[in-house]
Structure 1
Amino acid sequence: MDSIFTNILGLTSYVSERFIQFIEDLVYRDANRYTEDFVVYDAVVISSVRCSRSYTSGRSSHPQVDGANHGIYERGMCTGSVILNTSYISEVVLLLLKGLTLPLFGLQYAWNMAISSWRYSFSCVRCAQVRIRRIASRLWITLRGSSDDIGWLLDAPGMPPVEDGTTRFLELLSDIRNGKHSLPNSFIYLLIPGLFSNHGPLYFVATKRFFSKMGLACHIAKVHSEASVEHNAWELKLYIEELYWGSGKRVMLLGHSKGGVDAAAALSLYWSDLKDKVAGLALVQSPYGGTPIASDILREGQIGDKETRMIMELIICKIIKGDIRALEDLTYERRKEFIMKHKLPREIPLISFHSEASIGPGVLATMTHIAHAELPWLPVPKFGAESDSDTLVKAGHQVPVVIPLSAAMAVCALHLLLRYGEKSDGLVTCRDAQVPGSVVVTPDRKLDHSWIVYSSKKKNPSDPDAYEMCEALLSLLVELGKTNKELEQV
């Protein structure tokens, strides 16, 4: 009786321990570990039961010594049967748990799918927002263009004011047209061409010929016009020193377009070497503060900026064999950086000449004479009031090359006027051509950017020529130099 009670008590304690373990496993959702532990334990129990059975089968051959062995045998048999039943119950419970957790897994999968879809949709929306903002920013930059940059130099703090010298310029121009010339022979006059001048054989040729006929030493600077500003500044520095050492005369500089920017850079960078060799500088239609044309073409962040830059690099670097920095150096960003770092010397006489291009309908049909081309040995009819026997021209006849350059400048000037409300010569606005501390000259007629270096076929005889305007500018520059010397002496 005691052994039975002891067995029941052990069975009860075992069942309570397993039930508590089951509850703990259920709470922590660790069914897999519970199953593995239970299977391992069942294997141990089954092996013990087999041992008990073998012991029972062998009991007939080995008689029992006392009643203790009989109690152990009966307790092992009872324990084995109870454990086997518990294993069966655990399998049933595990199956029920799997049946209950299957909907939970389904809900969890559906939730994960919903969360993933929501996250993907949110990421798509964020990407769309970023793209829309980027496109809007590019569109805004494209539409704004150079609105905030035009005329920045005149409003920059610390810049000296300009002085109007148009009245005196017109007086000198009138004297020159009446045959009164005042340019002295004590200087060398150096004409500095602008961008793409290497592809215009007649660039400054008429002005040089006119000065040479008056007995003045005049030269056209041999620089690579499609090179960077700093490169040309160094070349001009060497060129000026060569002219000075060869003649002993100081040099008067007249630079057109980018040529004026190159000359100003040479004075800013190498003034200590050139202060005794340069007498003055006249910047003619030069984008000293920058030009909206170059900035609008090469501005980063606008629509089609990479494609536009590739096209310009193809034209300038591959076709023209130049340097893209020649155009980059004329943008507002580069000019601001250079001017703030390298100032023009205050003691040098300076003239800023700017003009406004005509945008009338008649200008669109104007053709500009820019070069001569030599025809092969072919009979070409010659038109004019000459005898019939001289109506054919043969070997080596040169004919002018005429292109609608004035029409292109008129279109560009109209574009700048409509977009920015700025007057310009087609490439450079009037405000960007004014150099701080200089004498500003404005002609009394409308002239495009290329007029002063190329002659037009359609010309009014009462209007002055380009070389006469260049002479008037240099004459005014000589007077400014004399005035500065007198002020220094006083």
Structure 2
Amino acid sequence: MANQILLEICCYYCTEMDDIFSRLLSLTSCITRRVIEFIEDLVLRDVIRLLRDSEINSCCKQPAIGTCTGFLDRDAIYLEDLSLINSGSEIVYRNYSRGVHFVFKGLTLPISFFEFAWRAAIETWRCIGYHKGCVHARLQSIVSRVLRTLNGSSDDIGWLQASPEMAPVEDGSARFLELLQETRNGVHKLPDSFVYLLIPGLFSNHGPLYFVSTKRFFSKMGLACHIAKIHSEASVEHNAWELKQYIEELYWGSGKRVMLLGHSKGGVDAAAALSIYSQELRDKVAGLALVQSPYGGTPIASDILREGQVADKETRRIMEFLICKLIKGDIRALEDLTYEKRKEFIRKHKLPDNIPLISFHSEASVAPGVLATMSHIAHAELPWLPRILNEDADDDAIFAARKVPVIVPVSAAMAITALHLQLRYGEKSDGLVTCRDAEVPGSVVVKPDKKLDHSWMVYSSWKKEPTEPDACEMCEALLTMLVELGKRASK
């Protein structure tokens, strides 16, 4: 067909005609006629194929006489040797020498339009079904995200206590209160045969006086006390390596074993160091006290970074900006405190059995009066202040001289988050860590009878109560109790 069209086009061009407009009109008519005939032939072939299929199906159902053959002409369709006669319930096929002449000339255009409409309807239905499936999947995704957001950490809080392979805990609150009372009465039992290492928690690099008062309190008693200089916004495994180096340095420098006291993420970092490097630190560490540490995880970190909840990507970008860009930290420092990461780490790294452990957790007050309280002091660094102290002043004094107190409503913030956790999950917490998640399996648990928020142990109070113990005395009581546990275990 294509060769024939080209041949006729060439003939038309080769013919000499006087009127060029007549030649163009004739050429256009020829091309149009050939294109229409080509389309008609395509449609007629589809029609004859459909007719043959239907007739073959009918022949398969009834006894048939004769055969069905045919050929396609340009202007008509000939079905050879086929005749259909319907007599009652019996269908009889007879052979003819020439066949029946069906002329579909003039009907091809309506048939093509009908076929086009049928295919368009099918494609429209398929398109509607596809978009309906997309909308359904989208709705399911939204519902799943909403349910995941509403459920939050309900299934994860206290997972350590629910694990059958976890060792039971021992309540040591009564003995702790006895030691705390003795400390307040001036009875100090901490021996100088250990080096005491205080490990700060998350964002401690931005609170330069973190644990400073406790260190000074121990130093006045003649005890070797240090604050671990680690990057608090680094990952748990990174800080575990740093602490391992720090502990070995203290041990080889003094010849004394090290007592560890970690607050918040500092306790998690210290426990990770003992878990990962248990062989290297087995004879160098005498005990570990975890103070308000999210050893099992914290719902605050999990609710912020949980994937599959509403606005999870936007929330993560905000936290990455705050932690990575603003304070130059590592987002893994917060990720490592989620339930998912803590489950993965604890199942992979077990704490050694030969090291005494204490878990200290408290409950923040959610009284209405606390919400309006500015009870804690943070410190802002002013490095441009002149050095007003003499050359003999120690570094802590020089460092403190360049700080100015800034009153921060920490208690109010902790009270709000504690109230949120209590209303949403029904869990008691210090504002950041629930009481159940702070209990380390196999440890001695200390639960004070006083309402203490998460930051009480490390920052000075705006209004001190002379009749109430402070953070330094509580840390001393905890370490004294840790020494007793070590002596009991060695017997």
TM-score (norm. length: structure 2):
0.76
Q: Identical aligned pairs, as a percentage?
A: 70
**CA shift for structure 1 position 349:** 0.2
- The aligned residue for residue 30 of structure 2 is none
Pick the structure with more helix per residue: 1
8 Å CA contact 2:370, 2:415 repeated in 1: yes
Cα distance in 2 for residues equivalent to 1:338 and 1:374: 39
Query: Aligned ranges for residues 277-296 of structure 1 at < 5 Å?
Result: 277-296=284-303
Q: How far does the alpha carbon of each residue in 1:157-211 deviate from its partner, in whole angstroms, 9 at most, with x for none?
A: 2111000000000000000111111101110000000000000011001100100
1:450 paired to 2:427: no
- The aligned residue for residue 440 of structure 1 is 445
1:426 paired to 2:431: yes
Cα distance in 2 for residues equivalent to 1:397 and 1:323: 27
Q: How far does the alpha carbon of each residue in 1:427-466 deviate from its partner, in whole angstroms, 9 at most, with x for none?
A: 0000000000000001111100000000221232211000
**CA shift for structure 1 position 315:** 0.8
**CA shift for structure 1 position 100:** 3.0
8 Å CA contact 2:201, 2:232 repeated in 1: yes
The gaps in structure 1 that reach 5 residues or longer are 1-22, 39-89, 379-395
Aligned length: 393
1:309 paired to 2:348: no
- 1:197 aligned partner, one-letter code: S
Query: Aligned ranges for residues 99-118 of structure 1 at < 5 Å?
Result: 99-118=106-125
- Residue 155 of structure 2 aligns to a residue whose secondary structure is coil
- 1:446 aligned partner, one-letter code: K
Root-mean-square deviation over aligned CA pairs: 2.4
Cα distance in 1 for residues equivalent to 2:113 and 2:149: 53
**CA shift for structure 1 position 354:** 0.2
- The aligned residue for residue 224 of structure 1 is 231
Distance 1:436 1:24, change over 3 A: closer
Pick the aligned partner of 1:371 from 366, 369, 379: 379
Cα distance in 1 for residues equivalent to 2:439 and 2:384: 46
Cα distance in 1 for residues equivalent to 2:380 and 2:47: 101
Pick the aligned partner of 1:299 from 295, 306, 310: 306
1:141 paired to 2:148: yes
**CA shift for structure 1 position 25:** 11
The gaps in structure 2 that reach 5 residues or longer are 1-43, 53-69, 78-99, 387-400
- 1:271 aligned partner, one-letter code: S
Query: Aligned ranges for residues 339-354 of structure 1 at < 5 Å?
Result: 339-354=346-361
Pick the aligned partner of 1:407 from 408, 412, 434: 412
Pick the aligned partner of 1:181 from 159, 180, 188: 188
Pick the aligned partner of 1:355 from 358, 362, 372: 362
8 Å CA contact 1:352, 1:441 repeated in 2: yes
Query: Aligned ranges for residues 74-89 of structure 1 at < 5 Å?
Result: none
TM-score (norm. length: structure 1):
0.76
Distance 1:166 1:132, change over 3 A: same
- Residue 283 of structure 1 aligns to a residue whose secondary structure is strand
- 2:179 aligned partner, one-letter code: L
**CA shift for structure 1 position 36:** 8.1
8 Å CA contact 2:379, 2:403 repeated in 1: no
Cα distance in 1 for residues equivalent to 2:48 and 2:151: 67
Structure 1 or 2, whichever has the larger Rg, is 1
8 Å CA contact 2:76, 2:105 repeated in 1: no
Cα distance in 2 for residues equivalent to 1:196 and 1:212: 24
Pick the aligned partner of 2:482 from 470, 477, 480: 477
8 Å CA contact 1:189, 1:217 repeated in 2: yes
Pick the aligned partner of 1:35 from 74, 79, 92: 74
8 Å CA contact 1:373, 1:401 repeated in 2: no
- The aligned residue for residue 251 of structure 1 is 258
- Residue 440 of structure 1 aligns to a residue whose secondary structure is strand
- 2:480 aligned partner, one-letter code: S
Pick the aligned partner of 1:242 from 241, 246, 249: 249
- 1:142 aligned partner, one-letter code: T
Cα distance in 1 for residues equivalent to 2:474 and 2:45: 105
**CA shift for structure 1 position 114:** 1.7
Cα distance in 2 for residues equivalent to 1:366 and 1:238: 41
Distance 1:134 1:465, change over 3 A: same
